[in-house]
Copies of this chain bind each other. A is one copy, B any other.
Amino acid sequence: MNHEDGLSRRQQKAMQTRLNLLHAGKVIFLKEGFQKATMTEINKQANTGYGTAYVYFKNKDELFGELMENIVEKMYEVASLPFEPKTSEEAFEQIKTQVRLFIQAALDEQEMMKVLKEAIGVSEIVEGKWSQIRTRFIAGIIKDITFVQEAGMANKEIEASLIARGWYYMNEQVMWDILLGEVAEDLNRVAENLALLYTRGLYVGNK
């Protein structure tokens, strides 16, 4: 049985070529940055035939768009951790941990994140993709806020969709600042401060 996984040899080869191109893309983007990287270089790095990259990806923006999914995967995992606190103290501790892990996950991919920052500015495709990723993060936060509002722990006057957006942006931008070396604060201290403002702001009966 050659096709035990349901893919023909040709399909398997195509998948392998695709992965090679993505891997080569990562190497080239890290080396050149987003703007300077070219499909020709990526092709060469992947040892695929001339023009092969264009069979798999419309342009470098699309190729980078696929790489983004991997870059933010761990950040997204952190954001998707189960969140069902019983008290506002518990919520504070969980949120503090989430902020720290979210920024840490970005720092673990520091070099690719820098390329991402550059790409968001210059590529509409990458910007659009980033905007989708943000929407996913914000949707997760809305879910968490709704949970604590329904549990009677959080202020119901507050509109979850607006606060989720504001809270996400606070985290994202501080993450960029730390990543680009503009904020030298200790990660624990950053997480503590942001989580404190947020939980005190959102939760009822805060100390």
Residues of A within 8 A of B (CB): 120-122, 127, 131, 155, 157-159, 162-163, 165-167, 169-170, 172-174, 177, 182-183, 185, 189-190, 193-194, 196-202, 206
Contacts and interface: CB of A to CB of B under 8 A. Distances in A.
Contacts of A158: 193, 196-197
A160 to B, nearest CB: 9
A80 to B, nearest CB: 22
A166 B121 contact: no
A157 to B, nearest CB: 7
A190 B162 contact: yes
A74 to B, nearest CB: 22
A11 B53 CA distance: 57
A167 B165 contact: no
A158 to B, nearest CB: 6
Nearest to A173: B169
29 contacts: A120-B121, A121-B127, A157-B196, A158-B193, A158-B196, A158-B197, A159-B189, A159-B193, A162-B174, A162-B183, A162-B193, A162-B194, A163-B197, A165-B173, A165-B174, A165-B183, A166-B173, A166-B174, A166-B194, A166-B197, A167-B170, A169-B169, A169-B172, A172-B173, A197-B201, A197-B202, A200-B201, A200-B202, A201-B202
